[in-house]
Amino acid sequence: MIKKRIIPCLDVKEGRVVKGIQFKGLRDIGDPIDLAKRYNALGADELVFLDISATETGNALMIDVIRQTARELFIPMTIGGGLKSIADISAVLNAGADKVSLNSAALNNPSLINETSEKFGAQCICIAIDAKWEENEQDWYCYTHGGKKKTAVRTLDWIKEVEERGAGELLVTSMDYDGMQQGFDHKLLSLIQQTVSIPVIASGGAGSAEHFAELFVATDVSAGLAASIFHDEDVSIQEVKELCESKGVRMRHV
């Protein structure tokens, strides 16, 4: 069994880390560089930075933040939000990012996945998917622009396509579970994990260490991602790893 990863997520808006519930009601958490340094010291396996205002407003890339953060980190860092071209992706990788996360740009131009995977390597390309259950259609659909715009793309169709196009990893956020702190969306995540062979990072719903243990026991996803419970120090990364290992889940240790 591949060792599982615990990944804090820093949602950045206008240079500050924020967090909300179901993509709404954002509150200020703090400085992204300070938080990144703290998570590096506390045993996070990776960090994800998502500039949640960039796609909507066209803000400049966080190159200075990325560069400063990269100097402080000894763990991989993924950057997402507002990346629309090979030039954008090259800029953040050159600034110190290890991977990029693409959502809206990939849906708008799927061939970008092929092009970037070929140029930078599949291991650098993570496709972020904001998935929401639509009762009328009885299926999950992809959303863009920070969860504000519904697309006509079915989630399970899209994950198959992005794998075929060369993506190396998926970051799947269940919008229905996001910020609710009642556990991960096992049904959606299990379906996705059974459909593709590339690693899946689960996001949306973590409220306790037990939720991570339940996730790894119930599904075969590669990693669990969370924001609020780590930002608010409701639970530590070490507590999560120790509980998961007590349930027989092999964890990565940095």
Using CB atoms within 10 A of its CB, is residue 67 exposed (0-12), middle (13-18) or buried (19+)? middle
Q: Which long-range contacts (CB under 8 A, 24 or more apart) does 26-29 make?
A: 29/231
Task: List, in order, residues 6 or more apart from 83 with CB less than 8 Å away.
Answer: 61, 89, 92, 100, 101, 102, 105
| Contact status, residue 113 vs residue 167, Cβ threshold 8 Å | yes
Residues serving a catalytic function are 11, 130
As given in the structure block, the two tokens for residue 232 are 């608010």
Ordered DSSP codes for 164-206: HTT--EEEEEETTTTTT-S---HHHHHHHHHH--S-EEEES--
Cα(60)–Cα(153) distance, integer angstroms = 28
In the Cβ-directed half-sphere of 17, how many Cα atoms lie within 13 Å? 20
